[in-house]
């Protein structure tokens, strides 16, 4: 059993700041009051404890209140990605079996014609209110959220995340990071993604302020880090680089009260980590996925420089092994076990067990060093095998990211009649750099077989809602040419 998160937090620390956005602030008591009002309106629209609904909207304050109101009613929430196309959303809505779709008015067009009942945010706000009995406790195995994986191959899978999964993830994180009375977590990640939603969970469990951004703004985020108004932030490599560029342009460093950046979504280039150190920003690489309700491993602050490039050790309740590895340093598929791991899926894969002998195979390639620190090398599906040699795109991307004229880089494999596959690099640059120059740059830093055989200059790279590089799209670009 676990206490109803918002109800318990509003009881314990009603006057503490729960949420801030621009110049506005809300206490936990105020958040509960507004969320309860919306919960009674959801009840008036025929929704009851145990019903499954889908939620589609931006990452703004209204969305935060609606998320909490859904949990107060006891609904299972399918968190829809607001960047999906109409066709992609239709597929997920057909797969997830929801009673209703709760939709921000700005997304009317993408759900128009849906066979599922729609309730727009404006209509909810105008609704009557019905009496509501709020459960004070939840069973740990109760499904709170359902999030669809990004679907690197085939159709995406709807992943169940329980109250126990979320609580375990949040507790493991705080045991690693610690918690201060003044902590404020800047959230510029989408709330429909586990990286954003998990920040909301930590807020109510820790009694911690969330400093919300509807969209990532490097200038404003750098200012917050510099002036000390936030203590932590979650980033990916792309957003980390943009923040660093802003600080570097001002010759500025982080405020002494700033504690850490959690960097997920794949390995962070060493160059970025070294630049962050010069800006006095501890970057803690973290490793997790939708199926693990956020973090599985995170580097601790004291190890940030000693173990550059590592995602740290498994968090307190979690276990990690490298499938088939006989010694430390040997690459293999990362397998995970712990109370944060999903109990299963919904929809077309509802009968698929995510575990093999009690462990979750992740599809990621990594290794554990002699001290048990995890290093993620790449996605197994992104591995390039060239002439019998394994090439990891992230390694090449890490090298190219250190070039002063490269803003973004993505690498994938291209079929080759002689070698089987060869690496191709897609780059977004800030200067007049040539493919020949980039080839020479790589040749000084990589084995010959790892040097990209081709450099393609692009305006932008394909990314998902959390700015994670979509290498499958790069492969589609190659095939389309």
User: Quick one: pLDDT at residue 154?
Assistant: 61
SS3 assignment, position 480: helix
According to the model, what pLDDT value does residue 468 have? 84
Residue 145 lies in a domain: no
Between CA 183 and CA 70, with CA 191 as vertex, the angle to 5 degrees is 100
Reply yes or no on whether the pLDDT at 270 is more than 90: no
C-beta of residue 101 within 8 angstroms of C-beta of residue 225:
no
Q: What are phi and psi of 51, to 5 degrees?
A: -70, 150
Q: Identify the CATH number of the domain in which residue 128 sits.
A: 3.40.50.980
Same-domain status, 366 and 420? no
Please say whether the beta carbons of 375 and 311 come within 8 A: yes
Do residue 448 and residue 316 come from a single domain?
no
Provide the β-strand partners of residue 410.
426
Six token digits for residue 130: 């019905």
Same domain, 388 and 402: yes
Task: At 380, list the tokens.
Answer: 């197994």
Cβ atoms of 40 and 132 within 8 Å: the answer is yes
Confidence of residue 481 (pLDDT cuts 50, 70, 90): low
- Alpha-carbon gap, residue 359 to 337, rounded angstroms: 5
pLDDT, tens digit, 9 for 90 and up, residues 1-50: 899 999 999 999 999 999 999 999 999 999 999 999 999 999 999 999 99
Which residues touch 202 (CB under 8 Å, ≥6 apart)?
170, 173, 174, 185, 208
* pLDDT at residue number 223: 98
Task: Determine, yes or no, domain membership for 127.
Answer: yes
Same domain, 232 and 324: yes
Last residue of a domain, one of 138, 156, 182: 138
Look at residue 152 in the predicted model and tell me its pLDDT.
Answer: 45
Q: For residues 376 and 388, state if they share a domain.
A: no
CATH of the domain at 474: 3.30.300.30
Residues 186 and 329 both lie in one domain? yes
**What pLDDT digit, counting tens, does each position of 51-105 carry?**
999 999 999 999 999 999 999 999 999 999 898 888 889 999 999 999 899 999 9
124: number of Cβ within 10 Å: 18
Question: Is residue 309 situated within a structural domain?
Answer: yes
Has residue 388 got a pLDDT over 80? no
Backbone angles phi, psi at 331, to 5 degrees: -70, 145
Statement to judge: residues 205 and 132 lie in one domain: no
Dihedral of the CA atoms 386, 285, 194, 143 (nearest 10)? 100
Contact (CB, 8 A) for 445 and 399: yes
Same domain, 262 and 122: no
Over residues 422-433, mean pLDDT: 93
How far is it, in rounded angstroms, from Cα 151 to Cα 76?
A: 21
Mean pLDDT confidence for 400-417: 92
- How confident is the model over 126-157, as pLDDT tens digits? 999 999 999 999 999 999 999 998 654 467 89
pLDDT digits (tens, 9 = 90+) for 188-247: 999 999 999 999 999 999 999 999 999 999 999 999 999 999 999 999 888 999 999 999
Looking at residue 302, which CATH number applies to its domain? 3.40.50.12780
What is the mean predicted confidence (pLDDT) over 426-436?
A: 93
| Domain assignment of residue 400, yes or no | yes
Instruction: Identify the domain containing residue 441 by its residue range.
Output: 383-480
Q: What is the mean pLDDT of residues 336-352?
A: 97
Tokens representing 149 are 């994986």
Q: Is residue 176 part of a domain?
A: yes
- Whether residue 147 lies inside any domain: the answer is no
Report if residue 154 sits inside a domain.
Answer: no
Same domain as 221, residue 72? no
Mean pLDDT estimate for the chain: 94
Residues 234 and 375 in one domain: yes
Distance between CA atoms of residues 315 and 300, nearest Å: 10
| pTM value surpassing 0.85 | yes
Does 364 lie in the same domain as 244? yes
Predicted pLDDT at 385 = 82
Residue 146 lies in a domain: no
| DSSP output for 279-332 | TT--EEEEEEEGGGTEEEEE--GGGTTTTTT--BEEPTT-EEEETT--STT--E
Say if residue 222 is in the same domain as residue 366. yes
Q: Determine phi and psi for 403, rounding to 5 degrees.
A: -75, 130
Residue 464 has pLDDT above 50, yes or no: yes
**What total number of domains does the chain contain?**
3
Token pair of 342, please?
A: 């999903």
End-of-domain residue from the set 381, 403, 427:
381
Asked whether residue 183 carries a pLDDT value surpassing 70, the answer given is yes
Question: Quick check: 335 pLDDT over 50?
Answer: yes
């Amino acid at each position: 059993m676990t206490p109803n998160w918002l109800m318990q937090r509003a009881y314990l620390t009603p006057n503490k700041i729960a949420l801030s956005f621009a110049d506005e602030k809300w206490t936990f008591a105020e958040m509960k009051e507004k969320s309860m009002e919306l919960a009674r309106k959801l009840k008036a629209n025929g929704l009851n404890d145990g019903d499954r609904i889908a939620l589609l909207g931006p990452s703004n304050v209204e969305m935060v209140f609606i998320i909490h109101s859904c949990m107060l009613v006891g609904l299972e929430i399918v968190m829809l990605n607001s960047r999906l196309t109409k066709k992609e959303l239709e597929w997920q809505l057909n797969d997830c079996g929801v009673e209703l779709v709760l939709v921000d008015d700005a997304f009317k067009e993408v759900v128009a014609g849906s066979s599922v009942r729609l309730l727009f945010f404006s209509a909810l706000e105008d609704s009557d209110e019905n009496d509501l009995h709020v459960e004070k406790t939840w069973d740990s195995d109760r499904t709170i959220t359902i999030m669809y994986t990004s679907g690197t191959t085939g159709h995406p899978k709807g992943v169940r995340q329980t109250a126990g999964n979320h609580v375990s993830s949040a507790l493991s994180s705080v045991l690693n990071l610690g918690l201060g009375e003044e902590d404020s977590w800047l959230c510029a990640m989408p709330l429909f993604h586990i990286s954003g939603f998990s920040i909301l969970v930590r807020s109510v469990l820790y009694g911690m302020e969330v400093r919300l951004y509807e969209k990532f703004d490097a200038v404003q985020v750098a200012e917050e880090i510099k002036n000390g108004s936030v203590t932590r932030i979650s980033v990916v490599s792309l957003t980390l680089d943009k923040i660093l560029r802003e600080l570097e342009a001002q010759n500025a460093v982080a405020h002494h009260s700033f504690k850490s950046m959690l960097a997920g979504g794949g390995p962070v280039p060493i160059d970025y980590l070294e630049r962050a150190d010069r800006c006095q920003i501890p970057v803690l690489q973290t490793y997790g996925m939708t199926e693990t309700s956020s973090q599985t491993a995170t580097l601790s602050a004291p190890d940030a420089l000693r173990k550059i490039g590592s995602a740290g050790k498994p968090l307190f309740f979690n276990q990690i092994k490298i499938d088939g590895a006989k010694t430390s340093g040997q690459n293999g598929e990362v397998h995970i076990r712990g109370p944060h791991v999903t109990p299963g899926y919904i929809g077309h894969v509802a009968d698929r067990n995510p575990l093999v002998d009690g462990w979750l195979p992740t599809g990621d390639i990594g290794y554990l060093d002699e001290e048990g620190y995890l290093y993620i090398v790449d996605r197994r599906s992104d591995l390039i095998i060239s002439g019998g040699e394994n090439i990891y795109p992230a390694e090449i991307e890490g090298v190219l990211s250190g070039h002063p004229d490269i803003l973004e880089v993505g690498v994938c494999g291209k079929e080759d009649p002689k070698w089987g596959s060869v690496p191709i690099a897609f780059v977004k640059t800030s200067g007049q750099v040539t493919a020949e120059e980039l080839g020479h740059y790589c040749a000084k830093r990589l084995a010959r077989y790892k040097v990209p055989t081709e450099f393609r200059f692009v305006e932008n790279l394909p990314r998902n809602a959390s700015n994670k590089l979509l290498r499958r799209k790069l492969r589609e670009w190659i095939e389309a040419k």
